């Protein structure tokens, strides 16, 4: 069996709701662009998969898919397609090629970027409709995380879990302890991810682990593996890398989040590989619910927070070819997020402060204020802090205010760096 055709297709799939669209575009995170990979073989088999990154396919022509199975270097989307082809060729589901299946259903989490408490409420309600029991949420210092958690807790049952990802924004052990101690008292809070960069302060991380009740999880790093300051890990990537990290997690008896971002095909592969990894026990993060379609003829059926592991040959799901054609674009076509970011706006971080005084910081882009929070130049996670977005209304007052901000930001960028 040899690959005779390898194609990469660009799609722009809208996010499923307007509030998601605006939040994702403002945050400048992964966007509407999805890359689909179509491989054909000389024995008449076809595989269609996806990946969030653009991988080269030219080098696959003429190769036997069986020789590429564990080669992470070919890119995630093409590698999943290779597994799919080999599964079809052998007449077995992908999980048989990966190992011994340990579970028939795999846990799956809802995911969102940072949003206002009101929009997180919308997301939580939608997740419940779609069968989810956990919500991976991005905590950001320009929001009051306690207010966000308390507001969303009002619309979910007591056994629904919020897994809170700080991406290091708490900065220090002391600040992390202050915030996490309060979150420990919230019944819906489940797990904390990366409260600060644990590997940079391993002694502090050990202190934090001793003083916080709920589990702390971080991205897989061998330093944390040695120090045992993390209750679990985030694991992801290609099949070889994922399996290697999963084996190390099992040796330490540490559960992990399996993180593979993409549409329904990626999510299905996550279920296949997760089903054979003993410690893939925490709800997987694939983000496939963000988009209007998961590119499958039959949407993934999530029941009580779990999705089934297919047992048909290959991936074992039917791809929606009409949806692929509907959202197919030229690779150079900008996404709606690209167009959104090309427009002017003022992003205002508002903190009520002490007494009646309100403090306001204004920026032209999240790319400007995010580093300021990481540097500790702005107070983070204060009570009442929130983000306001002022869109360009083409008025002279907006134009003047925006130009003033741009000039200030340019001056700061040129300023000499401290020691």
Nearest partner of 287 among 75, 30, 84, 11, judged by Cα? 30
β-strands 216-219, 232-235: how paired? parallel
* pLDDT (mean) for 206-223: 91
**In the chain, % of residues over pLDDT 70:** 98
Q: In order of start, what are the domains of the chain with their CATH numbers?
A: 3-92 (3.30.390), 105-318 (3.20.20.120), 343-414 (no CATH)
* pLDDT (mean) for 357-365: 93
Name the β-bridge partners of 271: none
273-316 confidence digits (pLDDT tens): 999 999 999 999 999 999 999 999 999 999 999 999 999 999 99
229-280 confidence digits (pLDDT tens): 899 999 999 999 999 999 999 999 999 999 999 999 999 999 999 999 999 9
Q: What is the pLDDT of residue 416?
A: 65
User: Tokens standing for 306?
Assistant: 């779990």
Instruction: Grade residue 342 by pLDDT with cuts at 50, 70 and 90.
Output: very high
Task: Report yes or no on whether pTM surpasses 0.85.
Answer: yes
β-strands 345-351, 386-391: how paired? antiparallel
Name the β-bridge partners of 33: 12
Q: Is 284 helix (H, G, I), strand (E, B) or coil?
A: strand
Angle at 320 between CA 73 and CA 57, to 5 degrees: 25
User: Tokens standing for 386?
Assistant: 């929130």
Name the β-bridge partners of 9: 36
Angle at 350 between CA 349 and CA 355, to 5 degrees: 155
400-419 confidence digits (pLDDT tens): 999 999 999 998 876 666 55
Mean pLDDT (the chain) is 95
CA distances from 169 to 285, 313, 413 (A): 20, 44, 21
Q: Is 344 helix (H, G, I), strand (E, B) or coil?
A: coil
Q: What is the pLDDT of residue 200?
A: 87
* pLDDT (mean) for 346-352: 94
User: Tokens standing for 177?
Assistant: 């302890």
Element (H, E) at 8: strand 3-12
């Amino acid at each position: 069996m040899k690959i005779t055709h390898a194609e990469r297709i660009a799609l722009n799939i809208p996010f499923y709701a307007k509030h998601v669209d605006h939040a994702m575009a403002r945050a400048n995170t992964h966007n509407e662009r999805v890359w689909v990979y179509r491989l054909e073989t000389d024995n008449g088999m076809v595989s269609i998969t996806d990946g969030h990154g653009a991988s080269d396919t030219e080098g696959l022509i003429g190769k036997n898919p069986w020789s590429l199975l564990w080669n992470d270097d070919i890119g995630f989307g093409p590698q999943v397609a290779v597994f799919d082809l080999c599964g079809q060729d052998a007449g077995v589901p992908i999980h048989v090629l990966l190992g011994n299946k340990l579970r028939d259903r795999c846990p799956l989490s809802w995911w969102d970027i940072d949003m206002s408490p009101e929009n997180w409420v919308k997301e939580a309600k939608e997740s419940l409709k779609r069968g989810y029991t956990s919500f991976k949420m991005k905590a950001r210092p320009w929001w009051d995380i306690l207010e966000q958690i308390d507001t969303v807790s009002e619309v979910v049952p007591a056994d629904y879990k919020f897994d809170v990802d700080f991406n290091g924004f708490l900065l220090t052990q002391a600040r992390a302890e202050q915030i996490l101690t309060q979150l420990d008292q919230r019944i819906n809070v489940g797990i904390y991810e990366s409260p600060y960069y644990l590997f940079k302060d391993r002694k502090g991380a050990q202190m934090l682990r001793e003083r916080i009740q709920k589990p702390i999880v971080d991205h897989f790093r061998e330093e944390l593996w040695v120090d045992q300051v993390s209750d679990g890990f985030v694991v992801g990537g290609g099949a070889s890398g994922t399996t290697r990290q999963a084996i190390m997690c099992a040796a330490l008896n540490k559960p992990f989040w399996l993180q593979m971002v993409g549409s329904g095909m990626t999510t299905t592969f996550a279920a296949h590989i997760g089903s054979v990894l003993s410690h893939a026990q925490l709800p997987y993060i694939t983000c496939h619910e963000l988009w209007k379609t998961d590119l499958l003829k039959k949407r993934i059926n999530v029941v009580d927070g779990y999705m089934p592991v297919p047992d048909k040959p290959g991936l074992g799901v039917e791809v929606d070819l009409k949806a692929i054609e509907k959202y197919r674009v030229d690779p150079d076509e900008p996404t709606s997020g690209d167009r959104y970011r090309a427009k002017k706006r003022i992003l205002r971080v508002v903190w009520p402060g002490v007494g009646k005084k309100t403090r306001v910081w204004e920026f032209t882009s999240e790319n400007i204020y995010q580093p300021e929070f990481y540097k500790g130049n702005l107070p983070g996670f204060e009570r009442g802090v929130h983000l306001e977005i002022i869109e360009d209304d083409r008025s002279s007052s907006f134009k003047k205010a925006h130009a003033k901000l741009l000039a200030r930001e340019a001056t700061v960028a040129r300023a000499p760096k401290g020691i």
